[in-house]
Amino acid sequence: MGACLAGRKCADVMGPGDHGSTFGGNPVVCAGAQVVIRRVSTPSFLHEVKEKGEYMRSRLEAMPAISEVRGMGMMLGAKPKEGKAGDIAAKCVDAGLLILTAKDVLRFLPPLTISHEEIDQGLSILATVLNQ
């Protein structure tokens, strides 16, 4: 489910049906969106997401092979001191960790429901790859 906003300058660019989706707006998608909105609206869930992001950041910052960590929440980027981000990401995939890149940065976009155990497992794989 998504939305598209446009300012006055671009308001006439799109007409009805231009911004469509195969599955958007049907009853199943809307029911799913309601569940997600209810879940993320609870203060405890968002507090847990914030805490996991801080945990991930501190673990990444403690890695000697990482020179910089940036981002918000669990949307984090880590710049390796050595090696190309793409090569590191490929080795992570081979070791069982899906990781993204943005130029020279490793990008982390885990699901908000990730557990601490899964965070530890993923960062352990990353540490092993970085230390090779």
Q: What domains can be seen in the chain, in order of their start residue?
A: 8-40 (no CATH), 46-130 (3.90.1150.10)
What was the pLDDT predicted at 23? 65
Mean pLDDT score of the chain: 91
What was the pLDDT predicted at 4? 73
For residue 124, pLDDT over 70 is answered with yes
What was the pLDDT predicted at 18? 74
End-to-end CA distance of the chain: 41
Q: Which helix (H) or strand (E) holds 11?
A: none
What was the pLDDT predicted at 102? 95
| Residue 125 CA: distances (Å) to CA of 12, 21, 41, 97, 132 | 49, 37, 32, 7, 11
What was the pLDDT predicted at 5? 76
Residue 6 CB partners (closer than 8 Å, separation 6+):
13, 14
What was the pLDDT predicted at 121? 97
- Express each pLDDT in 12-70 by its tens digit: 887 777 777 766 778 888 898 899 889 888 889 889 999 999 999 999 999 999 999 99
pTM over 0.85? The answer is no
